Amino acid sequence: MVSGNSSPLSSPIDAAAQRALEQLVRPLSATQIAWLSGYLAQLAEQAVANAAEDEPAEVVTILFGSQSGNTKGLAEQLHTRAQADGIGTYLLSMAELAPRKLAKLQRVILLTSTHGEGEPPESAYALHAFVMDENAPRMESLQFAVIGLGDSSYEHYCQTAVDFDRRLAQLGARRMLPLQCCDVEYEADAQRWQTDVLGRLVALRAKRPATVAARPLEPSETAAPYTKENPYAATLLENRRITTPDAVADVRHLALGIDPRLVRYRPGDTLGVCFRNDPALVDRIVERLGLDASSPVSQDDGAQPLGQVLTERLELTQVHPTTVRRWSEHVQASRLQAIIADPAKLRDYARRRQLLDLITDFPASIDADVLSGLLPRLQPRLYSIASSQAELDDEVHLTVAVLRYRRSGQRRLGGASGFLAERLRPNDSLSVYPVHNPSFHLPTPSGVDIIMIGAGTGIAPYRGFLQDRAAAGDRGRNWLLFGNRHFQRDFLYQLDWQAQRKAGLLNRVSLAFSRDRAQKVYVQDRVRTEARELFRWLEEGAHLYVCGASAMGEAVHRALIDMVGREGGLQEDAATDYIDNLRREARYHRDLY
């Protein structure tokens, strides 16, 4: 945890202090260290909060609301560049700032992504709700700049960023820079904007304070800061199918070996996985387009063979609407034009296709450079981590559903899931990086009851939660509500849950297997049947976690409102407020995808 490998960036502690810290930590057990990390995190949070109040004029606060880690990565970059320019900055996740403190800050840079139908990312939820509330305080003394990361194929493009920008101005805060919205390929715009922000801040002569406070120390920050640009080479230890051969979904438990001195994560965090496309898929694409895999394609680092570029650098298994639009410029097909003309149709078409489908549905003749120009860069995929380092500090576990389907009679395989489950061999190395997800961490301090709701692979983080709580001896009660198709076939990690119950950790279990009976039962139905007990737990202060597909998340959300309405005797509005309030209090955590 306190390692000699800490970079100067991540460790603001000098050599003497570092030695003292190492002496203190060495005799401690993993559990003690885990406790200490929480203790220190709290101290740090107080220090930052106090600092933010005490020296508002001196410091710029960089606030990020991130889900996939892209926005966070951008915020970290800005933080580093600001430090290099002598600008004092605090870097905080929006989830880490008590919303009311916002009005007391002087200069704030907000970076946020947007999800689904204009929803803020989970970590931005409370701050967003606070700002948007009609009773939000005036913020005349605040100066701000907002950047949003989004996807222009969605109707509510960068909506959260738009919300922050407009609303803060309404509340009397002053813009330092106009709102910047960035599309899927955000790097170039984001770089330009960073330069603008820094120029503006220098102009405002922000002074670097004598003592620089970095953001609160989290375990994941004390280790080397691996990112998607600078990933860590993990080793595949185990690839185990955890559904029966007759199950609909092929779900794998993957164990990756890591150096615990270099890679730290907390249960609830996600892991970015960099992957290579299937060479067989690349061959088929090249063949279908009548191209030559060895023909050179111009890249930033010079000409590279097409086959290699398609395998390692470009997105093939997810089709972005922009790609469809760009492709349509090379095709004479009225059906495609009709799709392009309707954003909803376009999104729907893109969501259910791979590149191979697009070029098969609408053949065109293009050269290698044009092809590489219309494909987005291959992005790593994020998976919820299914383990805790308190149990096994040199491993990280993932729960991966292998995306496998047929289209036009041909077999299609998910990009990353296919790579992980089918092409990667034990002892192979793969590039990963942990993504801090503070809005889905276990409650601190310990002793708080948690209700864990998940469907399918959404069960993953809860495995890490219970491992963590077992190691820490956390006495908070744990309730798992899990749904999948068949009890006999896809009750993910059934033996783990049984062992945790036997160990006294898992206090309550409610299951919904949708295909086991004539009448389908989903996890949201169990929320309703368990209403009385759920409400009691919430009234007693339990935290609520929901992980899994967005549709499930929305259905559970609806069921929660119904449950609160019925059990609390509340009207619809009041029940909705009750649930929204849980989110504002950071007691309702969601990780939906």
Partner 1 sequence: MTSPLHENEAIKRFSNYLRGTLKASMADELTGALADDDAQITKFHGFYQQDDRDLRQARREHYLEPSFGFMLRARLPGGVCTTTQWLAIDGIGRALTAGSLRLTTRQSFQYHGILKRNVESVIRGINKVMIDSIGGCGDVNRNVLCNPNPVESPVHREVHGWAKRISEHLLPRTRAYHELWLDGEQVTGPADAEPLYGETYLPRKFKTAIAVPPHNDVDVYSNDLGFVAIIENGALLGFNVLAGGGMGVTHGDTSTFPRLADTLGFIAPEQTLAIAEAVVSLQRDVGDRRDRRHARLKYSVERMGVDAFRNEVERRAGCRLDPPREAVFTDQGDRYGWVQGDDERWHLTVYIENGRLVDRPGASPMRGLREIARVHQGDFRITPNQNLIIAGVPACQQARIDALAREHGLLAARHSRLRLNGLSCVALPTCPLAMAEAERYYPDFLSQIERLAEKHGIADQHIVNRITGCPNGCARPYLGELALVGKAPGRYNLMLGGDGVGTRLNRLYRENLDEPALLAEIDRLFARFAAGRRPGEGFGDFLIRDAVVAAVINPAEDFHAAN
CB of 563 to partner 1, least distance (A): 19
Can you tell me the distance from the alpha carbon of 505 to that of 374, in angstroms, rounded to the nearest whole number? 51
CB of 511 to partner 1, least distance (A): 5
Q: Considering just the CA atoms, what is the radius of gyration of the chain in Å?
A: 24
CB of 7 to partner 1, least distance (A): 38
Can you tell me the distance from the alpha carbon of 526 to that of 559, in angstroms, rounded to the nearest whole number? 9
CB of 254 to partner 1, least distance (A): 13
* Amino acid code (one letter) for 428: D
Question: Residues 487, 503, 541, 551: which binds partner 1 (CB under 8 A)?
Answer: 487
CB of 493 to partner 1, least distance (A): 5
Which span sits near partner 1 by CB under 8 A: 3-11, 82-90, 218-226, 487-495?
487-495
Q: Which is nearer to partner 1, 467 or 510 (CB)?
A: 510
CB of 274 to partner 1, least distance (A): 27
Closest CA to 400 of 380, 417, 422, 425: 417
CB of 509 to partner 1, least distance (A): 5
Q: Which is nearer to partner 1, 129 or 509 (CB)?
A: 509
Whether the Cβ atoms of residue 123 and residue 439 lie closer than 8 Å to each other? yes
Question: Residues 488, 572, 573, 581: which binds partner 1 (CB under 8 A)?
Answer: 488
Q: Which is nearer to partner 1, 419 or 493 (CB)?
A: 493
Per-residue mark of binding to partner 1, 4-23 (x: CB under 8 A): --------------------
Can you tell me the distance from the alpha carbon of 5 to that of 8, in angstroms, rounded to the nearest whole number? 9
Please give the C-alpha separations between residue 264 and each of 154, 214, 435, 521, in angstroms, as whole numbers: 34, 18, 10, 38
Q: Is 64 in the site for partner 1 (CB under 8 A)?
A: no
Q: Which is nearer to partner 1, 130 or 491 (CB)?
A: 491
Within 229-258, the residues that bind partner 1 by CB under 8 A are 240-244, 253
CB of 248 to partner 1, least distance (A): 14
Q: Which is nearer to partner 1, 23 or 498 (CB)?
A: 498
CB of 556 to partner 1, least distance (A): 18
Q: Which is nearer to partner 1, 223 or 480 (CB)?
A: 480
Could you identify the residue written with the tokens 């309405």?
Answer: 565
**What values do phi and psi take at 254, rounded to 5?**
-115, 130
Q: Which is nearer to partner 1, 79 or 252 (CB)?
A: 252
CB of 491 to partner 1, least distance (A): 6
CB of 384 to partner 1, least distance (A): 17
Which span sits near partner 1 by CB under 8 A: 198-206, 359-367, 454-462, 490-498?
490-498
Q: Which is nearer to partner 1, 149 or 459 (CB)?
A: 459
The count of residues in the chain is: 593
Q: Which is nearer to partner 1, 321 or 483 (CB)?
A: 483
CB of 494 to partner 1, least distance (A): 5
CB of 240 to partner 1, least distance (A): 7
Can you tell me the distance from the alpha carbon of 279 to that of 355, in angstroms, rounded to the nearest whole number? 14
Within 492-531, the residues that bind partner 1 by CB under 8 A are 492-498, 501, 506, 509-511, 516-517
Pairing of strands 250-257, 232-241: antiparallel
CB of 517 to partner 1, least distance (A): 8
Within 294-353, the residues that bind partner 1 by CB under 8 A are none
Tell me the number of residues near partner 1 by CB under 8 A. Answer: 23
Q: Which helix (H) or strand (E) element contains residue 15? A: helix 15-25
Q: Which is nearer to partner 1, 221 or 395 (CB)?
A: 395
**CB under 8 Å to 79, separation ≥6 — which residues?**
62, 89, 91
Q: Which is nearer to partner 1, 346 or 506 (CB)?
A: 506
- H helix and E strand count, the chain: 22, 21
Peptide bond into 219 cis (omega under 30): no
User: What SS3 class is residue 89?
Assistant: strand
Per-residue mark of binding to partner 1, 104-143 (x: CB under 8 A): ----------------------------------------
Helical spans, DSSP H, in 278-389: 279-288, 306-312, 321-328, 334-341, 343-351, 355-361, 368-374
Q: Which long-range contacts (CB under 8 A, 24 or more apart) does 567-575 make?
A: 567/531, 567/532, 567/534, 567/535, 568/535
**CB under 8 Å to 216, separation ≥6 — which residues?**
41, 44, 45, 48, 92, 96
Q: Which is nearer to partner 1, 163 or 496 (CB)?
A: 496
Burial pattern 326-365, b for ≥16 Cβ within 10 A else e, equals: ebbeebeeeebeebbeeeeebbebbeebbbbbbbbbbebe
Question: Residues 35, 491, 545, 578: which binds partner 1 (CB under 8 A)?
Answer: 491
Could you identify the residue written with the tokens 């915020």?
Answer: 75
Q: Which is nearer to partner 1, 67 or 243 (CB)?
A: 243
Q: Which is nearer to partner 1, 30 or 511 (CB)?
A: 511
Within 388-407, the residues that bind partner 1 by CB under 8 A are none
CB of 348 to partner 1, least distance (A): 35
* Amino acid code (one letter) for 166: R
Burial pattern 135-166, b for ≥16 Cβ within 10 A else e, equals: ebeebeebbbbbbbbbbebbebbbbbbbbbbe
Q: Which is nearer to partner 1, 203 or 495 (CB)?
A: 495
Whether the Cβ atoms of residue 563 and residue 534 lie closer than 8 Å to each other? yes
Whether the Cβ atoms of residue 71 and residue 65 lie closer than 8 Å to each other? yes
Site of interaction with partner 1 (CB under 8 A): 240-244, 253, 487-488, 491-498, 501, 506, 509-511, 516-517
